[in-house]
Amino acid sequence: MTVTLMSGVTGVGLSSICQQVRRQLDDDYLLLNFGDVMLEQAMTHNITVDRDELSALSHRRTQRLQRRAAEYVADQAETRNVILSTHLAVKTDAGYIHGLPEGVLRDVAPATFVLVEAAPDTIVERRGNSGRDTPQATEREIEFEQDLNRTAALEYARERNAPIQFVENEGSVTEAVEQVVDALNAVSE
């Protein structure tokens, strides 16, 4: 089975796209959020029960949780196709770190990368209107985060010899969902 890794900065609409993509695919596909899997691992090991506290963990502890989460994803991908929603560059209290360090990338073994983007001003507006406790950022910070994601996507795709699909989520979410579904269907052919 395969892992399709979907990524985008907070506020780009990644969760909405992933959920709608999953609904359009057959039951062979499982949607996982890497941060949620890391939190489950943190809870299992009595580290934290609060997702917001993950960014305050030491780099070493974060790497351990990433490896445990990657092993879980790899186990799931043995019997089902997985759509894995994650950040390729993760903001922590110490700065940005790789979302998929070497061992994690190897375990997850994505066959395709989907990078979802929108204009920075659109993302700023979405973050402000989300009603969630979403970190606010300037357009410049969002540009930086998207640049980090692009760089990480290229690095990871090169490492895995996998394609990157670019999806723009500016207008209709339906259009973005159709692009992702088309990309997944092309990979499975």
CA angle (60, 14, 181) in 5-degree steps: 120
What is the rounded CA–CA span in Å between residue 180 and residue 99?
A: 21
Torsion of CA 103, 106, 108, 114, to 10 degrees: 110
The string of DSSP letters for the chain reads --EEEEE--TTSSHHHHHHHHHHHS-TTEEEEEHHHHHHHHHHHTTS-S-GGGGGGS-HHHHHHHHHHHHHHHHHHHTTSEEEEEE-SEEEETTEEEESS-HHHHHHH--SEEEEEE--HHHHHHHHHHS-S-PPP--HHHHHHHHHHHHHHHHHHHHHHT--EEEEE-SS-HHHHHHHHHHHHHHHH-
pTM of the entire predicted model: 0.92
What is the rounded CA–CA span in Å between residue 54 and residue 61?
A: 9
Lowest pLDDT segment from 3-7, 98-102, 105-109: 98-102
pLDDT attached to residue 17 = 95
The one-letter amino acid at 145:
E
pLDDT at 135 over 80: no
> pLDDT band at residue 105, thresholds of 50, 70 and 90?
very high
* pLDDT winner (highest mean) among 128-132, 143-147, 181-185: 143-147
Using only C-alpha atoms, the chain has a radius of gyration, in whole angstroms, of: 16
pLDDT attached to residue 21 = 93
Contact 164, 8 (CB under 8 A): no
Lowest pLDDT segment from 54-58, 86-90, 142-146: 54-58
pLDDT attached to residue 27 = 81
pLDDT attached to residue 156 = 95
pLDDT attached to residue 124 = 92
> pLDDT band at residue 90, thresholds of 50, 70 and 90?
confident
What is the rounded CA–CA span in Å between residue 72 and residue 80?
A: 12
